[in-house]
A and B are shown apart, each in its own frame.
Chain A
Amino acid sequence: DAGVIQSPRHEVTEMGQEVTLRCKPISGHDYLFWYRQTMMRGLELLIYFNNNVPIDDSGMPEDRFSAKMPNASFSTLKIQPSEPRDSAVYFCASNTQGASEKLFFGSGTQLSVL
């Protein structure tokens, strides 16, 4: 299995632009998680899905952030409009039984908003 695949690996954009991050979970995994990592705040859970349904989005910072999972093999995290404080590494992770089980992380998307 190729593991969790995220794209793009790096994204540089200007403030106010829309940013879309993509994730393909491991086949057969029914939980998908989006995390954001910064030096100041560490790794923060933004939202997670079970069987394509959002279960908890309380970590989404504000309305500028939205996430979708249209099918079992694809999820997006969108920021519109983006701001410099959104600069971070965004990770997608998946597993089979929720967070108490091993999380398989992608390699992340390094986002820089200028």
Chain B
Amino acid sequence: TQLLEQSPQFLSIQEGENLTVYCNSSSVFSSLQWYRQEPGEGPVLLVTVVTGGEVKKLKRLTFQFGDARKDSSLHITAAQPGDTGLYLCAGEMGRGDMRFGAGTRLTVKP
């Protein structure tokens, strides 16, 4: 059982559609990060959220940290083919202990 459950596992949508992916846990995290990973490469950090209820925006991406700091969501508006990739959430359990979810594999079709 994953400490961080990400859903959906796979998502395939058309260009221009909106989508939301989720990262859930029963554990509380001091911070939570979202990464995007492309084939053959390592994950690249998109955002870090620290405060319960925090919302951060990165162009068409909106990240929210749950009030209890146990869950997070990523919303993409008007998805583009360049958004295709594996989206990973990672929660900090303690200093140096970053746990990753299995990821949501997003495909945006032109």
B98 proximal to A (CB < 8 A): yes
A91 to B98, CA, bound (A): 14
Contact B30 A107 (CB under 8 A): no
**Residue-wise interface mask of B (67-106) relative to A, using a CB-CB cutoff of 8 A (1 in contact, 0 not):** 0000000000000000000001010100111111111000
Give the number of residues in B that approach A within 8 Å (Cβ atoms): 24
**Residue-wise interface mask of A (24-53) relative to B, using a CB-CB cutoff of 8 A (1 in contact, 0 not):** 000000010101000101111100101000
Residues of A near B43 (CB, < 8 A) are 43, 91, 103, 105
Residues of B near A35 (CB, < 8 A) are 100
Whole-angstrom distance between the Cβ of B87 and the nearest chain A Cβ: 12
B48 proximal to A (CB < 8 A): yes
Contact B95 A99 (CB under 8 A): yes
B11 proximal to A (CB < 8 A): no
Contact A105 B101 (CB under 8 A): no
Known interface pairs A41-B102, A42-B103. Does A107 touch B96 (Cβ–Cβ under 8 Å)?
Answer: no
A residues apposed to B, CB below 8 Å:
4, 31, 33, 35, 39, 41-45, 48, 50, 55-56, 91, 93, 98-100, 102-103, 105-108
A100-B48, A105-B43 given; name 8 further pairs at CB < 8 Å: A43-B43, A93-B42, A99-B95, A100-B30, A100-B31, A106-B42, A107-B41, A107-B42
B residues apposed to A, CB below 8 Å:
2, 30-31, 33, 35, 40-45, 48, 88, 90, 92, 95-103
